[in-house]
Structure formats: C-alpha cells, structure tokens
Amino acid sequence: MEETLSIIKPDGVGKKIIGTIFKRFEDAGLEIVNIKRLTLTTEKAGEFYYMHKDRPFYPELVKFMTSGPCVPFVIKGENAILKVRELMGATDPSEADAGTIRADFADSIDKNIIHGSDSKESAEREISFFFD
Ligand code: CMP
C-alpha cells in the first residue's frame, strides 16, 4: 500500500470537476483518505514548488496556484503514486494520452488541472505539507 498527494488546482476547482476527478481515482480502485479545500498564500505556494524556483515558469506557477481555491487530497492504494500519474496524464496536456484527466480537461501546461507526487520521497513531503 502506498499513499500519494494530489492537488486539484484552481482551474479544476473553477471548472467544477472535483467530483469527476475523485470518481476517476475511485473507479481505478484507489481510496481517497484525506481532503482539504484552501487558497494557498504566495509563501506557501512558493515553498511547495521550491524545486522549480529557478525555472522560468516559477513566477507564473506561484501566481496561478494562489489565484483561487485548490483541493489537496491524499490517495491510498497499491502503486498509488504511479497509478495517479497515469490517470493524470502527461504534464503538458497536448502530450497526454487520450482519456487521461489532463487530456480531457486541461487547457495548457500552466493550467493543467491537477498535480500528483512524482516519487515516494515527494509523496511523503507533500502529504505532510498539507496534512498533520
Ligand atoms: P505540476 O505537476 O503541478 O508541477 C509543476 C508545474 O509547473 C507543472 O505541473 C505545470 O503546471 C507547471 N509548468 C509550467 N511549465 C512547465 C514546464 N516547462 N515543465 C514542467 N512544468 C511546467
């Protein structure tokens, strides 16, 4: 059993697809074991994405992630980290496989609906970032 952290970003909340996204994970046999809805401050968003701080897209990323409420949640299941990443699709929706969340709903690489931890280490850090 593995746990991973996902965030429905402000565009996903704005498009009212929280339920649709949860259903995709549940239909894939995964369990949602913790959920929050909050608006990130600039400081918290910057801290969450600190590994990208030198990338050109970082200022836009922080601005977007603080632009409205987001929904961080914890997903549990066998190979949850990989399964969640497969269900999300590629970071750039134009490269995402058909039927994935990003292919179906995302407008661009910047506004790509959802985040998911990319490794066991990230999952641990990201879960404790949002949940005690
Ligand atoms: P996410 O999985 O939340 O992790 C960092 C985010 O930065 C990523 O999704 C994208 O929304 C955004 N981003 C914008 N440009 C890029 C890029 N060139 N490479 C990776 N991520 C990018």
pLDDT digits over 43-58, tens only? Answer: 999 999 999 999 999 9
Q: Is 109 in the pocket of ligand 1 (CB under 6 A)?
A: yes
Residue 115 among the catalytic residues: yes
Locate the ligand 1 atom nearest the alpha carbon of residue 111 and give its number.
Answer: 11
Sole residue written with tokens 């909050």: 38
CA 89 to chain CA centroid, Å, is 11
Question: What value does the mean pLDDT take over residues 23-39?
Answer: 98
Q: Is 61 in the pocket of ligand 1 (CB under 6 A)?
A: yes
DSSP, res 114: E
Q: What is the best residue among 61, 117, 125 to mutate for testing ligand 1's pocket, by most ligand atoms within 8 Å of CB?
A: 61
Domains of the chain: 2-130 (3.30.70.141)
Say if CB 48 and CB 129 are below 8 A apart: yes
pLDDT digits over 14-25, tens only? Answer: 999 999 999 999
